[in-house]
Structure 1
Amino acid sequence: MTSIPVTDVPRTAEEWRGYLVEYGGVFVRTANEYVRPRLTAEQIETHWLGAEPADEETLTATEQRLGTRLPPSLRTFLSVTDGWQGVGGWIDEIGPCAGIDWLRNTDRGAHLIEIYTEVDEEVGEPGELSALFGRALVIAEGEDLWLLDPAATGPDGEWAAHEFAPKYGEATDHPGFAELLDASRDLMITLAGDED
């Protein structure tokens, strides 16, 4: 797994609101000919690709369903927007509270765990990815997956974040959800050959 350095990322709800409008602006500006037709006139004008905020009741119900408190950056993000369309890279969207689940509970996750457990058995030792898949929370999907790892919690309560690319069998590590989202913003700019 490859690690990405920490950057200056949003932490408060107010910072998230501003950051997401800026992020949406990058997404709109760099959208290709396949993505742009799916954007509404309002999204293009406002740069808002989010939903209504998740209220405290919804956040608490999600945490009860999952059996754990969400990491601070994801929880604050969801309190600003319950999901987000238009993510850079190979992610379709960040799921709303109702769509966030343990990877092991999803069909895709069960399949990945099965494949990587078989690889581990062939090698004769447990692998990092099969262990991660068994404990990770999946928060975003597309061609790739965004996973949060409750076993790697920092002093600030943030869970380590991973972008897993099934096509290559590789995961890129980030200190937390906010840093992962910020890396996707940078990737959009790089892939578009755009200057921020």
Structure 2
Amino acid sequence: MKKILREISEMAIKLGEFSFTTEQTETKWLGDQPATPAEIQEAETRLGVMLPVDYKEFLLITNGFTTPNENVDPSFSKISDVAFLKDVDPQLIEIWTENVELLEGAIKLARSIVIGGLTEEQYFLLIPPVIENADWEYWKFASWIPGEHPYQGLENYFINLLDFLKSA
């Protein structure tokens, strides 16, 4: 995953279509310092879940990652800022709960954890499995997307982001 994140960083900075800090431009890296295992453990305790392996691997590479295109994709938050969507945006869940056709999605939203887009127009969500040892779900979610946009995991999301940058 580190190679993909490095490619995203270098390509986004090379394109010059988005604004980045001087440090990001000089280092050609949109990430932050890695999280420590203790920070990850603290978040798991605070959230009451064991986070998925690929997300923990991401955090050990970078504890946060700036989006290369803020109008389309979310920036990933530091592990200390990660929270349940119900605590971040309860109104969103309420709106979805009121519509019977959206009830299954609303139930997932109520359990979801926001790992990206906390102050942006779109979220990146992790949805814990209901059944032990089942797979986590990964969603990009925004009011301008009709429903959720699922991914097979974080690496799949970042590969899609890299492909988007290559086509820009």
What TM-score do you get using the length of structure 1 for normalisation? 0.75
- Aligned-pair identity (%): 26
- What is the aligned counterpart of 1:112 among 83, 92, 95? 92
Show the counterpart of 2:110. Answer: 134
Task: Using the TM superposition, give the Cα deviation of residue 92 of structure 1 relative to its aligned residue in structure 2, in angstroms.
Answer: 4.1
Gaps of 5+ in 1: 1-9, 11-15
Which residue of the partner structure matches residue 23 of structure 1? Answer: 8
SS in 2 for 1:127: helix
Shift of 1:30: 3.1
Q: How many residues align?
A: 165
Q: CA deviation at 1:86?
A: 2.6
Alpha-carbon spacing, 1:85–1:117, altered in 2? closer, same or farther (3 Å):
same
4+ residue runs over 4 A deviation: 152-155
User: For the pair shown, which has the larger CA radius of gyration, 1 or 2?
Assistant: 1
2:26 aligned with 1:45: yes
2-side partners of 1:78 and 1:96: how far apart?
8
TM-score, length-scaled by structure 2: 0.86
CA deviation string 1:124-157 (max 9, x = no partner) = xx623211111111111121111111127897x7
Structure-2 separation of matches of 1:119 and 1:183: 31
The answer to whether structure 1 residue 98 and structure 2 residue 80 are counterparts is: yes
The letter for the 2-side match of 1:67 is G
User: What is the match of residue 5 of structure 1?
Assistant: none
Q: Which residue of 2 aligns with 1:167?
A: 144
TM-superposed CA distance for 1:41, in Å, is 3.1
* 3-state SS of paired residue (2:126): strand
Distance in 1, Cα, partners of 2:158 & 2:44: 21
Alpha carbons of 1:65 and 1:87: their partners in 2 closer, same or farther (altered >3 Å)?
Answer: farther
**For residues 30 and 128 of structure 1, do their structure 2 counterparts lie closer, same or farther at Cα, with a shift above 3 Å needed?**
farther
5+ residue gaps, structure 2, are none
Q: 1:42 Cα shift?
A: 3.1
The letter of the residue matching 1:49 is L
Instruction: Give the structure, 1 or 2, with the largest relative contact order (CA under 8 Å, sep 6 or more).
Output: 1
How far apart in 1 are the matches of 2:8 and 2:145?
Answer: 27
Structure with the largest fraction of strand: 1
Using a 3 Å threshold, how does the CA distance of structure 1 residues 78 and 153 change in structure 2: closer, same or farther?
farther
Q: Give the C-alpha shift of residue 183 in structure 1.
A: 1.5
Q: Equivalent residue for 1:4? A: none
